[in-house]
Chain A
Amino acid sequence: MAELDRLMDAAACHGGPFSPSYSARLDRTEEFPAEAVRVLDEFGVHRYFVPARFGGRQAELPEVVDLLRAVARRDLTVAIAYGKTFLGVTPVWAGGTSEQSAWLARQVLENAMVTWALTERGHGADLMSGEVGATRTADGWQLDGAKWLINNATRAPLVLLLARTDAGGGPRGFSLFLVDKRSLEPGSYTCLPKEPLHGIRGADISGIDFHEAKLPADAVVNAAGTGFEIVLKSLQVTRTVCTALSLGAADHALRLAADFTQGRMVYGRRLSELPGVRWVLGEAIAGALLAEVVTVVATRSIHTLTGEMSVISAIVKALVPELVEDLITAVGELLGARGQLIDEYADGLFQKLDRDHRIVAIFDGSTTVNRNALINQFPVLDRRYRKGGYDEPGLNRAADLTGSLPELDTSALTLLSKAGCSVVQSVPKAVAEIRRLGAQEAAPDSVVRQAREFGEAVDGVLAELAEHRPERHDVPAGAFALAQRYEACFAGAACLRLWLHNVGVATDRATLWRDATWLSGCLARVLALLGAGQEADAARAYESLAEVLLATEGGAVPSILTDVPTAEPRVRA
């Protein structure tokens, strides 16, 4: 990480490919950030997209999150352009044969870009309506049809593609194909033009159209008919890791906010000295830290609560981009006209990141798609919460930052979580634990109060969940609002867990950990999402967080990860 940061810092000097002026120019001219991608290639970020067992360096997914976040913090377009390969390869690790995986691993380690082509014109998120079809031939497959709005469809030599293999469709009617454009007959495919976009303007968002393209028999991943299931399981991993992009955007926005409010004079004071402004800053940091905690716990859960990822990934992909959009809006308001100006302030990077970031809530499953997935699992979430109990070892390992993680067992991914959601199911116990610490004066009174209010709010949400009647087609609008509240429950619970497991090892200089500052701020944010909590607690917490942000130097922003000694990632059997 430090080495990647050094490389990108160096490339940020003298108008290099990671400099603000360079980012701004490529956004204006809508050019692909090829030079920035070369810097990442040079470091070898792609090695982390390949699991260690296939010769890569990926031991834990939190590492991938850290890397993508570090890139996204500088330029979201670059992170999205580069990160696409992670999406393109994950399904093969999850579902491919060992030969396919080994072959693909070699390709990626040799710097080949891989794209994941799911969507088609006119269907978007509705993958089951996909029309791109593959039919069997004597010695393989023939592929026809167009995939559209595909990141790197033109630039990537390798395409992992979902195609209909049974005219009748249905859950077993689709298959994944690993297509090597370099070995297709010329003329059997056309790349569709790059689309002009609202944000990530430099990215290669285009399409690919196949005309009787001949594929070898072994191009099908796993077996015909398994495509849909592999996609759904892989999305549980990719959706979770994708939120790294939001964390990077949040880092960037907060840094711009801190710099601006400290430099700007109004009414004879620094903007950062006005209590009203500090509330906005504090609330924004609380949102960013909450997004961080949710992502960290969720990403670690891929390894330790693998069977619950159908729930967790839906929560994290819906909630995190939304939290970050909210904080970007708040920062935009602080920046005022400067946030809108394209070349006047900070190279116009704020308005760029604002536009860029909106794609995160759209791709790899939109917020609505994810909320739908969560709603479909309401019955088991209700049942499991009422029953009590959770996967304690799995949750402990997910929350304990000092421990290393077991290798991901992709065979443990399931379409529907049977165990519910351990993070939320652990709330009553976590609240009791905070109370116990409060009684020993090891947790501040305000946090004990917030935790109690949170526990009550969670009970309220789960009571509503119990009232929910599943509807196959007409998911009522109210269920989406309820899903949103359930996500807030998850977020608060993740905070309690993370704090309880790590507060003992946080270093003394850790201002975020002292007096449970970050926990109090995050709980305030969660309680606001749940329509509970007290403004006075929020005001106190946000003020402390603003203080921490404004004291953070060197272009950094506060992170709960900074002050906890985390274990070196290593693969464990």
Chain B
Amino acid sequence: MTTGAGRNPPRRGVFPPLPDDLEHRLGLPMAEDNPLGFTAVLAADELAEVLEAGERVLDDYGLNAEFVPAGHGGRLSGLDRMVYVLRTACRRDPVLGLGYGMSSLMAAVNVWTSGSRRQQERVAELLLGNRKLACAFHELEHGNDLARAEFVATPSGAPGADSFVLSGRKQVIGNVERADAIVLFARTGQGPGSRSHSLLLLDMATLPRDGYRYLPRFHTSGLRGMALGGIEFLNCPVPASSVVGVEGHALETALRAFQITKVALPGSSAGILDTALRTAVRFTLGRRLYGRKVADLPYPRGILGDAFADLLVSDCFAMSVTRALHVLPGEGSTPTAAVKLLVPTVLVEATKRLSALLGAQFYLRSGEYSMMQKLVRDSQPSAFVHASRSACRMSILPQLPLLARRGWSSGVPAPAQVFRPGGSLPPLRFEELSLSSRGQDHLGASLLALAGKLPGGSAAHREVQSLVDLFAGEWSRLSEACSGLPPRELTVTASPLSYRLADRYALLLAAGCCVGVWLESQDGADPFLRHPSWLIAVLTRLAARLGRPRQAIPDHVQSHLFGELLRRYHDSRAFDLSGQQLMEWHP
């Protein structure tokens, strides 16, 4: 990376900057004539088109290689790195960041998890050749309820024929018309249960032309430029070798594989909040109210500080959980659902509060701050696409009693490397991703285990301790409530009070990850991350979600946080844990 490195040496080597850094390729965001700048991004949004120049840059960069494991010739060695790369694109344009590759990633993880060697090679070949994949699960009538999906693949009756016949529709599918291959979720059995569906990897070029047709595009309010389409199969024959993994195991494969994307999506979307925050800071520095700069008024500063803390919470949580998938692959089912449950909500709310700070300027689709209305719209889908909050609660709830009885009180925290963003990781073992963590949750055990090992000393450290003790108390209460849950309270008809235990779990898990990241930063180079201030801030923000009387971030913490926020703004550095150098915002 070349930008500004002379003036502001990176404080922290989260990820070694690459020579062909994506951020650099995207150019100056505020430059009017940059075909990848905000002006171009907004123009594409108005036309509900994807930013073509942006897609070309991602092609040149070879973004898809981030989705392909090193063993297949790609660059996927750590999921956290992949998320950072996607976040870089999301900071510039969420449609680009999510629309270019998320469909390919969602399709590919299923193949890495359960596909044959041949299928994996084919997918790697397509991705590394800059082709797109689509992931066709969704049917408008059934949404997140995959087990009810109606699309059928029937074994062809012809004697000796080793094939299926497809018929049905898949709707609201990203990139479906642009995809060379589609991973399709289809009913292959009659039963109502979880073993009646199979995944099929379809090479579109090999299918008969009259076997399918594309449906009209779906238009959305958020992520307007996203190419969302549909496909209808009309008695289309496909070879039986299309099945990914074991026939009838689609639901299982998807629930395992999507653990990756359930974190990758919110983790990448954190880039939306980064740009919203930068836009808001810019506004408060440029605007005067009542004879003063808005950025000098305590209330706007409070909102900015809160959003900064919210971004750090999101990053700590998403980063730790992606890293935990490498280190503790069998324990990912509940933490990944917890990230998808909590982080999008945090991001959406924070983006919305920032937009309110802009007053009428937020409402304009023209002018200097018009990215804000787009970011507000674009942030919203992350809360329900891929897995709704209720679907996430349903993945967590049934496991809570066993986790409470076995996992959380083990006293053994997750290995330290989980909490060190950018540090080395063992390769991801897709085959070990598991539907259930069988009562093991080292990430969950971390907060209680670390609560007694916090450094003492200053008044700030004592504040940390008392917040951590508060969360530890909440863990004990959660544990108690969960261990006593009767089986009928673990199903979709569970009472709302039981459902809400899943929300609490997500909050406490996030708190534990923040504590872990802070502790592991103590020997790091970044004085901001070493300091207790940000931890006090993020824990205060999380505590406010526990249903207690809302406490504001303490003044001394707020001013420390705000100082860092302004420094990063002026130095054009990311607001997330990486603090990485970005292209200049103020040409």
Contact = CB atoms under 8 A, between A and B. Distances in A.
Nearest to A533: B547
B292 A124 contact: no
B565 to A, nearest CB: 14
Contact of A476 (B298, B348, B366, B549): B298
A266 B289 contact: no
B500 A336 contact: no
B494 A276 contact: yes
B497 to A, nearest CB: 6
Interface in A6-39: none
Interface in A341-379: 341-344, 348, 351, 354-355, 358-359, 361-363, 366-368
Contact of A341 (B220, B496, B555): B220
B549 A532 contact: yes
A376 to B, nearest CB: 12
A274 B494 CA distance: 8
A361 to B, nearest CB: 7
B584 to A, nearest CB: 25
A211 B183 CA distance: 64
Given A277-B390, A481-B552, A125 B289 contact: yes
A333 B219 contact: no
Given A125-B289, A198-B362, A476-B298, A341 B373 contact: no
A355 to B, nearest CB: 7
A11 B138 CA distance: 36
Contacts of A125: 289, 359
B221 A342 contact: yes
B89 to A, nearest CB: 21
B496 A340 contact: no
A296 to B, nearest CB: 26
A333 B201 CA distance: 31
Given A126-B289, A265-B148, A475-B298, A531 B500 contact: no
Contacts of A535: 497, 500, 547
Given A274-B493, A275-B494, A355 B302 contact: no
A408 B349 CA distance: 39
Interface string A247-269: 00000000000000000111111
A265 B144 CA distance: 11
Nearest to B192: A268
Interface in B182-240: 192, 218-222
Contacts of B220: 340-342, 351
Contacts of A99: none
Contacts of B299: 368, 475-477, 479-480
Contacts of A354: 221
B496 A275 contact: yes
Given A341-B220, A474-B297, A124 B360 contact: yes
Contacts of A267: 145, 147-148, 492
Contacts of B362: 198, 358, 362
Q: How large is the interface on B (under 10, 10 to 19, 20 to 34, 35 or more residues)?
A: 35 or more
Contacts of B221: 340, 342, 348, 351, 354-355
Interface in B363-393: 363-366, 373, 376-377, 380-381, 383-385, 388-390, 393
A389 interface: no
Interface string A441-460: 00000000000000000001
Contacts of A432: none
A381 B219 CA distance: 50
A337 interface: yes
Nearest to A342: B219
A149 interface: yes
A197 interface: yes
B341 to A, nearest CB: 11
Contacts of B291: 129
Interface in A452-497: 460, 473-481, 485
Contact of A340 (B380, B389, B555): B380
A509 B302 CA distance: 48
Nearest to A326: B349
A528 interface: yes
Contacts of A274: 390, 492-493
B172 A337 contact: yes
A477 B366 CA distance: 30
A325 B349 CA distance: 11
A354 B220 CA distance: 13
Contacts of B360: 119, 124, 149, 362-363
Contact of B301 (A129, A333, A477): A477
Q: How large is the interface on A (under 10, 10 to 19, 20 to 34, 35 or more residues)?
A: 35 or more
A536 interface: yes
Contacts of B476: none
Contact of B547 (A128, A269, A341, A528): A528
B292 A473 contact: yes
Contacts of A266: 142-145, 148, 492
Interface string B153-177: 0000000000000000000100000
Contact of B356 (A332, A366, A481): A366
A344 B363 contact: no
A337 B384 contact: yes
Contacts of A198: 362-365, 373, 376-377
Contacts of A275: 493-496, 499
Interface string B545-581: 0011110100100100000000000000000000000
A32 to B, nearest CB: 17
Contacts of B365: 195-198
Contacts of B357: 368
B499 A276 contact: yes
B107 to A, nearest CB: 19
Contacts of A351: 220-221
A278 interface: yes
Interface in A193-242: 195-199
Contacts of A542: 496
Contacts of B148: 265-268
A353 B31 CA distance: 34
A531 B145 contact: no
Nearest to A484: B550
A265 B192 CA distance: 14
Contacts of B376: 198
B481 to A, nearest CB: 11
A267 B221 CA distance: 28
A474 B143 contact: no
A513 interface: no
A473 B383 CA distance: 38
A149 B147 CA distance: 50
A481 B298 contact: no
Interface in A324-341: 325, 329, 332-333, 336-341
A170 B263 CA distance: 54
B140 interface: yes
Nearest to A535: B497
A78 B348 CA distance: 28
Nearest to B381: A340
B496 A539 contact: yes
Given A268-B148, A362-B359, A532-B549, A195 B390 contact: no
A530 interface: yes
Contacts of B142: 265-266
A336 B388 contact: yes
Interface string B325-346: 0000000000000000000000
17 contacts: A125-B359, A198-B376, A268-B148, A275-B494, A276-B390, A336-B384, A348-B221, A361-B356, A368-B356, A368-B357, A474-B297, A475-B298, A478-B552, A481-B550, A531-B549, A539-B496, A539-B497
Given A197-B365, A332-B383, A333-B384, 10 more contacts: A129-B291, A197-B363, A275-B496, A329-B348, A333-B389, A340-B221, A342-B221, A355-B221, A474-B298, A477-B299
Interface of A: 119, 124-126, 128-129, 149, 195-199, 264-269, 274-279, 325, 329, 332-333, 336-344, 348, 351, 354-355, 358-359, 361-363, 366-368, 460, 473-481, 485, 528, 530-532, 535-536, 539, 542
